[in-house]
């Protein structure tokens, strides 16, 4: 992450970003999906790969552990990205020791766009199941992630410029 960080910045990609994100494929559960992450020639984060439904698979994800980030009065997150017309999930964890994440699905258009995620609309989820807990109402964020799991076999590519509070 760049040294010059405004109070609204959650994550801005840099040459070192590829080492800061972890790819988690459904192979942890026997699946055969293959996701990858790199910084492309334009300096954007590139999440790409193939989702397979074989062996009960069906997802791939990238995640980044943050130093505890105060939410403050922020009510939404804006992500500047270019998708491929597919649906993705943006996920946050309030605390890394929580077993669940807060999730919001968003659609992409195939063009550069700014996706706005209302924090209060992010619902708690664990292993694909919505939990009977309140939507996001936390004071901190310790982890951010992107996941693709559309219940179809597909190639995908998501370019991410930055992630900010609004």
Residue 6 clears pLDDT 90, i.e. is over it: no
User: What is the gyration radius of the CA atoms in the chain, in angstroms?
Assistant: 15
- Under the banding of pLDDT at 50, 70 and 90, the label for residue 29 is confident
Position 96 confidence tier, pLDDT thresholds 50, 70, 90: confident
pLDDT at 39: 96
User: To the nearest whole number, what is the mean pLDDT of the chain?
Assistant: 93
The Cα 61–Cα 83 span in angstroms is: 15
What domains, with CATH codes, occur in the chain? Answer: 9-165 (2.60.120.260)
Asked if 31 contacts 25 with a C-beta cutoff of 8 angstroms, the reply is yes
**pLDDT band per the 50, 70, 90 thresholds, residue 15:** confident
**pLDDT at 1 (0 to 100):** 39
Read off the pLDDT of each residue in 22-27 and give the average, rounded to a whole number. 95
- In this predicted structure, which of 19-23, 29-33, 47-51, 77-81 has the lowest mean pLDDT? 29-33
Give the residue-averaged pLDDT of 2-18.
76
Q: Is the pLDDT of residue 3 over 80?
A: no
Q: What is the pTM of this model?
A: 0.94
Q: pLDDT digit string (tens) for 109-131?
A: 999 999 999 999 999 999 889 99
Mean pLDDT for 83-108 is 96
Please report where in the chains the tokens 């492309």 appear, as a residue.
40
For 67, the enclosing helix (H) or strand (E) is strand 60-70
């Amino acid at each position: 992450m760049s040294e010059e960080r405004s109070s609204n910045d959650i994550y801005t990609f840099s040459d070192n970003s590829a080492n800061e994100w972890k790819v988690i494929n459904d192979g942890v559960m026997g699946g055969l999906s293959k996701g990858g992450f790199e910084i492309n020639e334009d300096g954007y984060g590139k999440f790409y790969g193939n989702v397979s439904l074989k062996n009960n698979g069906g997802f791939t994800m990238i995640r980044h552990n943050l130093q505890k980030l105060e939410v403050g009065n922020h009510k939404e997150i804006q992500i500047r990205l270019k998708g491929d017309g597919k649906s993705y999930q943006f996920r946050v964890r309030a605390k890394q020791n929580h077993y669940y994440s807060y999730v919001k699905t968003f659609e992409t258009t195939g063009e550069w766009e700014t996706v706005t995620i209302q924090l209060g609309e992010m619902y708690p989820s664990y292993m694909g199941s919505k939990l009977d807990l309140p939507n996001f109402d936390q004071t901190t964020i310790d982890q951010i992630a992107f996941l693709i799991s559309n219940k179809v076999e597909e190639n995908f590519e998501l370019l991410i410029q930055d992630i900010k509070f609004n």
